[in-house]
Chains A and B, each alone.
Chain A
């Protein structure tokens, strides 16, 4: 029976050739230099840029580090005060709550939408597929700032197409401000974020789907499996690992979303009512030059993200490896 999916352990390799086959009789495997050597370039690439900054991030989070310190004044060590300030601030919790809800909705919509689009791409003929791919790419490639501005124009109070269209359809939407109320503000923001996020998910999932051999798909069709069964039994297992990675990644990004919210805030609404973690952190740390607090905020955000994604990670590890 052909299996071309990711179940690595179905065909055990010759015990001595590959360095990674688990050998139940021995607890110590012969060391191989190769895997370490292969990861070194990546470590260097990441470590070169991030090694020192991450270290400094940890240190700065325990300091009162502002503009003066940037220019030479010695920083004062304040222990966990930055953290207690943040966690003790009721506004932080409000912003966090908003961000979690927003993130949840954004990730759900993006993943479901992206998955659907990926499946659709697989079904289309070549011309349509290229056309759809290019449109999706356009959505993805447009600079976030520009795209958000255009979306804001589309929803503009006076000159927006949406208001114009709705008025033409008979509803009284003339001069309706989409950004004034937080709920409506976040609806527009969600639309923009999901619109920008789906192409990326769709392309990556589609690429994963193409790894499923055509024969398997046809075999399933011949066996009389309906679309949904095909998806559930053939496509889903193949893309699941990538899917999980994308969920984790989308969660990280949507929790910290900044540009879209910030640009919309400049266009309307009251910022204290529409701040999410990203813009709140920016206003706290960057505009005030509170780098120490900014570092603490970053660490808090990492912790929250870790908490959110740990479930996925455990799933992934449990499923595939020891």
Chain B
């Protein structure tokens, strides 16, 4: 009897011990959104050049080249010689649970990068420092609109756009020449070119005039927007789905036309490995990020002089609306080095740093730098496409839509030959339900 009680006490005691120790960072302690200073200009006042500290910066994936990281560290050292900047590379895979647990700890990194579709969730949760008052010093109105939108929530500015990528068309110049096709000047011409290529190259196994795997939803958006449709818009505080409206369905019908008549990519795959198919001579045109041509050239250098890039033309002859993807960087709300982190952000947003993105084939974060985008044809086409860039619904719940594969599944259904209006309607209902939760 006694021992049963002892054992019970022991077990319960263990639980409470862990509960007590574990509740240091409990909900009740509250997370303030500003830094440890009382949220006015003093939070961002430039620190003393002699400051000693370690600044931890998380950058994701290989997108920011090592040369740029080195440049940032060295340049920062000139102003703050006693600050050690550690740039740690994290993988994009699993970044959301990683950030969810990391930003909430005392051991948080100071600066984090997040995708434009993931940022708003964190902003809404108060995980990042409010940068509204220093927005002007970080680029202000010159920052690319759609990225700035991703970095903002509830009219406050939290995430500095880091770089962007727009969708463009990469094509085989030699196949165009063989079929007597010129770079298309409008959307219809683009579709026709695809079909012509398909017909002329029917002998080549697995050939696609326009490579369009069903899960490539970012590419579908261009057609949708061009036809006057959209995913969803906010009216009176509620999200209204537009995926099933006429404009959207028209655009998606064009997509189905391409998928059935100019394409042999599987309906349920995505575009991640299309560069390999391109190298295997199976693609006439593909729709993808601006750096795709560089990736192809690296994979099979013999293709390099047969590559061309152009921005997708719209029905009206101007550049078609294009999905702008990219990253934003923010300062963790629990960081102890807010002022220093802000200085680093200024460095990131500076011309010296941003123009290097341009040279790496990515779009820098401010319109003023867009004309610096030279070098590869891919980069130039991107800059063109970026001028008519659009963004997915600006909601803290958009990440859930993407994670739920809703648009991807819709694309697969369309690629399978299902009725476009039905597929769109199913997706629309699902999206609206999530956005309005």
The chain A residues found within 8 Å of chain B, CB to CB, are 31, 33, 36, 40, 43-44, 47-48, 51-52, 55, 66-75, 157-158, 177, 179-180, 265, 267-272, 283, 286-289
Contacts and interface: CB of A to CB of B under 8 A. Distances in A.
A269 B268 contact: yes
Given A70-B100, A283-B404, A75 B27 contact: yes
Interface string B149-161: 0000000000000
A271 B15 contact: no
A118 to B, nearest CB: 36
Contacts of A40: 10
Contacts, number: 116
B11 A74 contact: no
B283 to A, nearest CB: 14
Given A36-B3, A52-B18, A287-B96, 13 more contacts: A33-B3, A43-B10, A48-B14, A52-B19, A67-B122, A67-B124, A68-B126, A71-B125, A72-B31, A74-B27, A74-B28, A286-B96, A288-B397
Contacts of B206: 158
B244 interface: no
A71 B126 contact: yes
21 contacts: A31-B3, A36-B6, A43-B10, A47-B18, A51-B14, A51-B17, A67-B122, A67-B127, A70-B125, A72-B30, A73-B27, A74-B27, A158-B266, A267-B269, A268-B266, A270-B268, A270-B409, A272-B405, A288-B397, A289-B121, A289-B400
A68 B104 CA distance: 11
Contacts of A73: 27, 31, 125-126
A75 B27 CA distance: 8
Given A51-B15, A70-B104, A283-B404, A271 B397 contact: no
B333 interface: yes
| Size bracket, chain B contacts | 35 or more
B412 interface: yes
Interface in B1-28: 1-3, 6-7, 10-11, 14-15, 17-19, 21-23, 27-28
Given A71-B125, A283-B404, A36 B412 contact: no
B403 interface: yes
Contacts of B408: 271
Contact of B403 (A36, A47, A75, A283): A283
B273 to A, nearest CB: 11
A270 B430 CA distance: 14
A287 B125 contact: no
Nearest to B99: A67
B124 A68 contact: yes
Nearest to A269: B268
B339 interface: no
Interface in B86-107: 96-97, 100, 103-104
A137 to B, nearest CB: 27
A172 to B, nearest CB: 16
B405 A271 contact: yes
Which are the 3 A-B pairs with shortest beta-carbon distances?
A287-B403, A72-B31, A288-B400
Contacts of B434: 288
A48 B18 contact: yes
B399 interface: yes
Contacts of A48: 14, 18
B38 interface: no
Interface string B29-46: 111100000000000000
Interface string B401-420: 01111001100110010000
- The winner among B17, B27, B29, B409 for most chain A CB atoms within 10 A is B27
Given A36-B7, A270-B413, A51 B269 contact: no
Contacts of A269: 268, 412
